């Protein structure tokens, strides 16, 4: 597929076709990695980095799995 490089402020930009967006699951504001490989510009979705703290913020009493209820502590573990 062919696209056109256009000016965007002091930089240059390339529009990503809808089919590519869908295939790569990119969304507005997605982070991407840009690199050079054999004289070609390669744009790839950046690997998402998950922090446990951020993931746990989404856990509530309504969506917690029953399997997490393992009983009371029986040793020196902390809950």
- State pLDDT tens for residues 16-52: 999 999 999 999 999 999 999 999 999 999 998 889 9
pTM confidence score: 0.55
When the pLDDT of each residue in the chain is averaged and rounded to a whole number, the result is: 88
Burial state string for 23-38 with b = 16 or more CB within 10 A and e = fewer than 16: eeebeeeeeeeeeeee
Residue 79 lies in a domain: no
Cβ-contact 34, 42 below 8 angstroms: yes
What CATH number has the domain bearing residue 47? 2.10.260.10
Residue 73 lies in a domain: no
Residue 35 lies in a domain: yes
Cα–Cα distance between 60 and 70 in angstroms, integer? 17
Task: Residue 41: give the domain boundaries.
Answer: 5-68
């Amino acid at each position: 597929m062919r696209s056109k490089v256009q000016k965007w402020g002091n930089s240059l930009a390339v529009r990503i076709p809808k089919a590519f967006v869908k295939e790569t699951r990119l969304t507005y504001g997605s982070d991407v990695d840009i690199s050079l490989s054999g004289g070609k510009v390669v744009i790839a979705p950046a690997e998402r980095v998950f922090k446990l703290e951020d993931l746990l913020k989404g856990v509530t009493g309504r969506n917690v799995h029953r399997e997490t209820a393992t009983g009371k502590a029986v040793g020196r573990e902390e809950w």
